[in-house]
Amino acid sequence: MLALLAAAGTLAAGCGGGAAARGTGPAARPGGAVDVLAASSLAPVLPQLVDGFRRDRPGAKVRVSTGASNALAEQVRAGAPADVVLAADLATAERAAAAFGRGTPDPVPVATTVLVVAVPSANPGRVRALADLSRRDLLVGLCAPQVPCGTYARALLREAGVDAAADTEEPDARSLMAKVASGDLDAGVVYRAEALAAGRAVDVVEVPEAAEVPVTYYAVVRPGAAVGDELVAYLRGPGRTVLARAGFGVP
């Protein structure tokens, strides 16, 4: 079940909406409503993005639900309200496009990130590199293989030649990050932006090999969803500033 992140008008202002809040975005237009299904790893930055979009469109109603990327297309097929899907990989975005039906535009990239190893604050397991995840004395977490963060992590481990056995397989990146932050795990392979959002609860071990496994988020808009098109245009325009401040890259 997707977790409801926020309803129209209830998202607090985050970092001021980036360029749009300074008057450099598209001309403000009133009203409109859009329903968004988003990958859970985007949850930390979504309030700021929505706030910035609503500054461009005063009175706009933006309803956002988050969940594991692999569930988003199924939610669309099941009839969940959705004008925009924000997925953590192209394959999931394409499934969402197929669920929207004929006439759906191709998915477009809106953000990037890289994989890192997240460890609890003070790094009690003394993890210094990706190769340390092969140590059997560590409790290591990965996302489940059927979700993008799990697919990316396993590709990274294969690319680096690291034999890491997962002690837990979590349903999404946020769940994995929570177990690392609580100290239930010694390490987890997560998105860098997700780890940064945890603040002082975790330390980040950068992974040079992650450059070989790029992570890109894609947006898909339901045909005829004009406000959805405008939201995606915001993400690819003024919203880039907000994404960058949250630790994401931009295509």
The more confidently predicted of residues 2 and 105 is: 105
With vertex at residue 29, the alpha carbon angle to CA 23 and CA 30, rounded to the nearest 5 degrees, is 125
250: in domain: no
Are 68 and 143 in a shared domain? no
If asked whether residues 68 and 132 sit together in one domain, one would say no
Looking at residue 57, which CATH number applies to its domain? 3.40.190.10
CA nearest neighbour of 249 among 107, 88, 89, 113:
113
Shared-domain flag, residues 19 and 49: yes
Q: Which domain holds residue 180?
A: 115-212
Does an H or E element contain 202, and which? strand 202-205
| pLDDT of res. 68 | 87
In this structure, the answer to whether residues 164 and 153 fall within a common structural domain is yes
Phi-psi region of 200 (alpha: psi -120 to 50; beta: other; left: phi over 0): alpha
What is the average per-residue pLDDT within 175-183? Answer: 95
* Residue 204 clears pLDDT 50, i.e. is over it: yes
User: Is residue 54 located within the same domain as residue 124?
Assistant: no
The DSSP result for 176-188, as a single string, is HHHHHHTTS-SEE
Confirm whether 241 is domain-assigned. Answer: yes
Query: Does 68 reside within a domain?
Result: yes
Name the token pair of 233. 């245009």
153 shares its domain with 197: yes
> What pLDDT is recorded for position 31?
61
What is the band of 30 on the pLDDT scale with cuts at 50, 70, 90?
low
Cα(194)–Cα(201) distance, integer angstroms: 12
CA pair distance 83, 225, nearest whole angstrom: 6
Q: How many domains does the chain have?
A: 2
User: Is the same domain home to 25 and 73?
Assistant: yes
For 212-216, which contacts have Cβ atoms below 8 Å and span 24 or more sequence positions? 212/156, 212/159, 213/115, 213/152, 213/155, 213/156, 213/159, 214/112, 214/114, 215/88, 215/89, 215/112, 215/113, 215/114, 215/115, 215/148, 215/152, 215/191, 216/89, 216/90, 216/109, 216/111, 216/112, 216/251
**CA-based nearest residue to 245, from 4, 7, 19, 11:** 19
Q: Is residue 37 part of a domain?
A: yes
Q: Is 196 contained in some domain?
A: yes
Question: Residues 124-151: what's their mean pLDDT?
Answer: 96
- Please check the confidence at residue 62 and state whether its pLDDT lies above 80: yes
